[in-house]
Amino acid sequence: MPLHPTRVRLASAALLTVAGLVAAGTASAAPAPVAPAPVAAAAAPDIPVANVTAHLAQFQSIATANGGNRAHGRPGYKASLDYVKAKLDAAGFTTSVRQFTSGGRTGYNLIADWPGGDENQVVMAGAHLDSVTAGPGINDNGSGSAAILENALAVSRAQLKPAKHLRFAWWGAEELGMVGSRNYVNSLATGDRSKIDAYLNFDMIGSPNPGYFVYDDDPALEKIFQEYYTGLGIPTEIETEGDGRSDHAPFKSAGIPVGGLFSGADYTKTAAQAQKWGGTAGKRFDPCYHSSCDTTSNVNPTALDRNADAIAYALWGLAAQ
Ligand code: TRP
Ligand code: CA
Ligand code: ZN
């Protein structure tokens, strides 16, 4: 007896759904789709944390060779920018360096566009690349800078063909009051602001006594990161340590949806937080915050790895639809 046509259609639809899930990395084995499937979203890659820590070692060397910091207006900042830019150029990004002046010194933002995708729907990830003058700024914010760099390089390795346009940014002079990111947002025409679907910010994501904080500014973006951490079985908390104290603030003020991750700075880990995340209660998330000891020893590689992978999960998911 021939199959009922409705049942055939249902069966095909189910197979297509399964194929979609496989592509999203949530199932391990399934039959091939019986009909040409719509182009399925590629699964987000596992970002190799060794590559991220290799970038951090480079930032450390740059600071050491330049008076111990990578601060705005100092040679260590420009050297950091040159390092990141060279990697992106070699990987096929379209990069641009945007100059501004702050405190009588020249500052620079680095913008890197991945060719392709709908430029009316831009998904952006950013991190500040400057340190304070007191130290090399490896957790604050080599961590975010290195993680988005490695994510950009992963986009290139995958030769990703996202539906939306992907843009990465490394900001100058965040430590002077989000000067670079504000300059960038102010430079956008009103029409260009509305083309940015999402801005994701990563400022301190490898704290040595880490917490797992998610920005709650936009519910949809918050949900993506929560989903990722739920998948790892790790509870998150809402980021509250100085809301608006990083480069997402100018974007949010301009009406752009923002999200991000944070592993903690000056605040002290509570007993309840140590219970769920490990680490040391009664100790700051980052005891070397804004200090000379914010070196490569001041990073928790597990937190850095999880956050780098969470960024990939968010970017691949957001850019695909
Ligand atoms: N670079 C930020 C600063 O110096 C670090 C920071 C503190 C932060 N609190 C934050 C980053 C909350 C994101 C969210 O202020
Ligand atoms: Ca990883
Ligand atoms: Zn800082």
- Report CA(247)–ligand 1 centroid distance (Å): 9
Phi, psi angles (nearest 5°) of residue 178: 55, 40
Look over the chain and give the mean of its residue pLDDT values, rounded to a whole number: 90
The question of whether 174 is a catalytic residue gets the answer yes
**CA-based R_g, the chain, Å:** 21
**Tell me, what's the pLDDT at 34?**
52
Distance CA 147, CA 55 (A): 9
The catalytic position among 174, 175, 222, 239 is 174
Distance CA 90, CA 72 (A): 25
Question: What percent of the chain lies above the pLDDT cut of 70?
Answer: 87
> Of the given ranges (29-33, 44-48, 121-125, 155-159), which has the lowest mean pLDDT?
29-33
> Which DSSP string corresponds to 232-293?
HT---EE--TTTT-STHHHHHHTT--EEEEE--SSSBPPHHHHHHH-S-TTSBS-TTTTSTT
Q: What is the pLDDT of residues 177-192, one digit of tens each?
A: 999 999 999 999 989 9
Mention every residue, 6+ apart, whose C-beta is less than 8 A from residue 104: 73
**Tell me, what's the pLDDT at 42?**
81
- 3 has pLDDT over 60: no
CB 56 within 8 A of CB 146: yes
Distance CA 319, CA 321 (A): 6
Distance CA 217, CA 239 (A): 9
Tell me how crowded residue 72 is: count the other CB atoms within 10 A of its CB. Answer: 28
Residues in the ligand 1 pocket, defined by CB under 6 Å: 140, 174, 203-204, 239, 241-242, 245-246, 262, 265
> Which DSSP string corresponds to 106-139?
EEEEEEEEES-SEEEEEEEEEEE--B-TTS--II
Ligand with the closest atom to the CA of 135: 3
> Which DSSP string corresponds to 152-180?
HHHHHHHT---SEEEEEEEES-GGGTSHH
Confidence of residue 321 (pLDDT cuts 50, 70, 90): low
- Determine the 3-state secondary structure of 105 from DSSP: strand
Which helix (H) or strand (E) segment is 102 a member of? Answer: strand 94-102
State how far the alpha carbon of 27 is from the alpha carbons of 94, 227, 256, 316, in Å. 35, 16, 34, 17
Between strands 164-171 and 105-114, the pairing is antiparallel
**Tell me, what's the pLDDT at 27?**
41
Q: What is the pLDDT of residues 46-100, one digit of tens each?
A: 999 999 999 999 999 999 999 999 999 999 999 999 999 999 999 999 999 999 9
**Tell me, what's the pLDDT at 16?**
31
Position with higher pLDDT, 296 vs 40: 296
Q: What is the pLDDT of residues 225-273, one digit of tens each?
A: 999 999 999 999 999 997 789 999 999 999 999 999 999 999 999 999 9
CB 204 within 8 A of CB 286: yes
- pTM score above 0.85: yes
- Atom 4, ligand 1: residue with shortest CA distance: 175
Confidence of residue 310 (pLDDT cuts 50, 70, 90): very high
- 193 has pLDDT over 70: yes
Q: Domains for the chain: give ranges and CATH numbers.
A: 1-40 (no CATH), 46-320 (3.40.630.10)
Q: Which ligand 1 atom sits closest to the C-alpha of 215?
A: 14
- Report CA(204)–ligand 1 centroid distance (Å): 7
Q: Which whole number is the average pLDDT over 28-41?
A: 51
Distance CA 127, CA 313 (A): 17
- 126 has pLDDT over 80: yes
Question: What percent of the chain lies above the pLDDT cut of 90?
Answer: 85
